[in-house]
Structure 1
Amino acid sequence: MQLEQRSHTPIYLAIIAPIAAIVAALILCIPLVSWTGVPALQSYGVMLKGALGSGFAISETLSRATPLIFTGLGVAIAFRARFWNIGAEGQFYAGAIAATLFGTGLLPLPSFLLLPLIFVAGFLFGGVLLLLPAILKTRIQVDEVVTTLLFNFIVLLVVSYLVEGPLKDPSALGWPQATPVIAQATLPRLVGRTHWGLIIALVCAILVWLMNSRMVLGYRMRAIGANQTAALFAGIPIQRVILYTALLSGGLAGMGGVSEVAGLKGYLSLDLSPGFGYTGIIVAMLAQLNAIGVVFSALFIAAIYVGADAMSRSANLPSYLADVIVSTSLLCMLVSILLTRYRLRWK
């Protein structure tokens, strides 16, 4: 048996592959779920009901998916150009810092001016944070995997300093959190805990899809990701495109931090993110770096986590099963991507 590269990938195969990967992951996790003492189908039913079984559950799933869409889009843009951004977590917190600095009364503006301002500030904070590793990569060939990963820890230390020092809320009874954002910097709610950050995330997904499919910059990103030598030979300014890619990637992740502070949490703290930046990598890979696919991928992962929390409460099952299911889904997706690009031939 050997792998033979396909000349082209059929459309039906590209559509079926991610669905098959998710189904395969759920099937592979059945023994582990059954090992906990609860039948797998019953556990999955409780998980589905906990994620989608009521208006409150749907609201929870949508609110959990919102930051994942932002970080997933940021990672997908960078990975398309083979710029390995592992620092979406730090960029997420950079955006949250921007929302706190400008959304706690620094500028006395009405909501229709202040909300766009803090999103632009979050975009710039996250984008500039990723520009530094991009400059190191383009100028002196420093591996961006290392620099972006280390920046996560640096930003978390900065956040720790801010919530314990200059931005600390004096009314928090000693709890390490920043001063809450004012009402003018709070995103309106749609339903339940779902806020307007979801709409902004969906608009960003459409804009990224249009950029990738209709704009020159998107074509240049794909060209660099496909073959950097050929892109250089074709006259594409690789260094400049990588810098643009870094600005967009980090900026989108930073907007995720703004949406979480302004739309849900209300203040900056060290536990603002349960790993949205790292999970964004899984979201992007499950979506095969497609901007529209990122939305569905984020909804799937959010449903898994929200459903697992409900399953843990009602069936007394460990919530870490969500991590196992998500990780297995990623592995199955990688296999499905391989099989969409190659076919098995029996010798």
Structure 2
Amino acid sequence: MRVEPRNAPSRLLTVGVPVLSAIVALGLAAIPLAFAGAGIAEAYREMFRGVFGSVFAFSEMLTRATPLIFTGLAAALAFRAKLWNIGAEGQLYLGAMAAVAVGAGLTDAPGIVLIPLIILLGAAAGSAGMMLPTLLKSRFGADEVVTTLLLNFVILIFLQMMLEGPLKDPMGLGWPQSPPIPDQGMLPALMDRMRVHSGLLIALFAAAVAQFMLMRSVWGFRLRAVGENPAAARHAGIGVNRSLFGVAIISGGLAGLAGVSEVAGLKGYLTADLSPGFGYTGIVVAMLAGLSPAGVVISSLFIASVFVGADSMSRAMGVSSYLADLVVSVSLLCVLIGGFFARYRIIRVRERRAGA
């Protein structure tokens, strides 16, 4: 047996691997469900009902998918250039901190000024969080996986310091939370009495622009060239470091927008538990999407459906909601295994007989 690369993976493999991975993950999740004593068919029926059973349930899924689209795009674009951004979680919190700092500081500004300012400064704060690891990588060859991952913890500690100091709400009864963003600074809701907000439209617009730029622009060609072979790209006259810094700004900015969407679209104020791990889940989203911006939207909706549906199933059947984490983790493993077989094939080699 030997392993050799395929000449060019077919479109069927490229599209089919993520879909098959999701199906296999749901199938494997039936094993712990059976051990928990739950009826598998009834459990999945409750999961489906928890997402599509009502307008409210569906809107909750869209609300959960919004930050995942942002962080999934942040990971997908950076990974395309082989810039391994594991720091979207920290960049999300930087964007959220900038949003509440601006929103709580400019309470008299009209919404037409305040909302764009919150969005721009939130994205800029997220970009700033990705610039230092990229600088260390380009100048000193530092591993950005390590630097971005460790920077997450630095940012979280900084956040806790800010929530106990300059950003602490004096009216918060001692709780470590920021002052609220005024109503005119909040992203408009898309449905009455629902939590889904216009951050979803911004996320979908960002995905559409990213897809177009990646596949139809010179910038996208350069980015893909840097990701495929930096030495060849440099020899062809492409500024590798310039491309890395460009995608770092965009990737960090998208992660920062995830924080803006959560604090200015949903919660209204900042706490240290704003994100349940959206930055890390965004990596799974990007991998499940095959690093495609359009695919990020689909995989975000799938993972958000798993989380929201698992919560509903947990309440209805007394099954642990951690099943959602299991499905997401197994999905990633299936994608990695499927991606291997999409790029390589195993060939059986016949052994030659002695003396032949």
TM range (shorter): over 0.9
Q: Equivalent residue of 2:190, what SS?
A: strand
User: In structure 1, what is the equivalent of residue 318 of structure 2?
Assistant: 316
1:251 to 245, 250, 253: 253
Q: Secondary structure at the match of 1:133?
A: helix
Backbone CA RMSD of aligned residues = 1.2
Structure 1 residue 158: Cα displacement: 1.4
TM-superposition CA deviations, 1:142-183 (whole Å, max 9, x none): 111111111111111111112111111122222211000001
Letter in 2 for 1:153: F
SS at match of 2:4: strand
8 Å Cα contact 2:107/2:182 also seen in 1: no
Matched, 1:122 2:87: no
| Alpha-carbon distance in structure 2 between the residues aligned to 1:18 and 1:286 | 6
Counterpart position of 2:269? 267
Structure 1, 294-303 or 166-175: larger mean CA deviation: 166-175
- Name which of 224, 227, 230 aligns with 2:226: 224
CA distance in 2, matches of 1:147, 1:324: 27
Q: How far does residue 345 in structure 1 lie from its aligned partner after superposition?
A: 2.7
For residue 125 of structure 1, report the CA deviation from its aligned partner. 0.4
Q: 1:80–1:289: 8 Å Cα contact kept in structure 2?
A: yes
Alignment of 1:2-13 (within 5 A): 2-13=2-13
CA–CA separation in structure 1 for the residues paired with 2:137 and 2:13: 36
2:309 maps to which of 307, 310, 317? 307
Residue equivalent to 1:21: 21
TM-score (norm 1): 0.97
Within 2, Cα distance between the matches of 1:8 and 1:129?
A: 36
The letter for the 2-side match of 1:261 is: V
Aligned residue number for residue 60 of structure 2 = 60
Amino acid at match of 1:21: S
**CA offsets 1:222-264 (integer angstroms, 9 cap, x no match):** 1111111111111111111111111110000001100101100
Q: Deviations over 1:4-37 (max 9, x none)?
A: 3222222223222211111111112211111110
Which residue number corresponds to residue 95 of structure 2?
95
- TM-score normalized with structure 2 length: 0.95
1:319 counterpart letter in structure 2: S
Determine the structure 1 residue equivalent to 2:353. none
Indicate the residue corresponding to 1:112 in structure 2.
112
1:295 CA drift (Å):
0.5
Distance (whole Å) between structure 2 residues aligned to residue 114 and residue 40 of structure 1: 49
* Counterpart Cα distance in 2 of 1:8 and 1:81: 20
Q: Distance in 1 between matches of 2:208 and 2:51?
A: 25
Check conservation: 1:68, 1:298, Cα contact below 8 A. Answer: yes
Q: Cα distance, 1:217 vs. partner?
A: 1.6
Query: Residue 326 of structure 1 aligns with which residue?
Result: 328
Distance in 2 between residues matched to 1:104 and 1:60, nearest whole Å: 27
Equivalent residue for 2:209, pick from 207, 210, 218: 207
Name the SS for the 1:175 alignment partner.
coil
User: Secondary structure of the equivalent of 2:304?
Assistant: helix
What's the offset of the Cα at 1:107?
A: 6.2
Distance of 2:229 and 2:43 partners within structure 1: 45
Partners of 2:74 and 2:88 within 8 A in 1:
yes
AA at the equivalent of 1:309 = D
Tell me, which stretches of 5 or more residues in structure 1 are unaligned?
none
The corresponding residue for 1:169 is: 169
Deviates more, 1:283-292 or 1:42-51: 42-51
User: Is the CA contact 1:105–1:182 (under 8 Å) kept in the aligned structure 2?
Assistant: no
Instruction: Tell me how far apart the structure 1 counterparts of residues 29 and 344 of structure 2 sit (CA, whole Å).
Output: 26
Q: AA paired with 2:179?
A: T
Which residue is equivalent to 2:160?
160
Say how many residue pairs are matched: 347
Does 60-69 or 44-53 show the bigger shift? Answer: 44-53
Q: Give 1:241's aligned residue.
A: 243
Please give the alpha-carbon distance, in whole angstroms, between the structure 2 residues aligned to 1:17 and 1:133: 32
Q: What is the alpha-carbon distance in structure 2 between the residues aligned to residue 283 and residue 130 of structure 1?
A: 19
Q: Quote the Cα distance in structure 1 between the aligned partners of 2:153 and 2:37.
A: 39
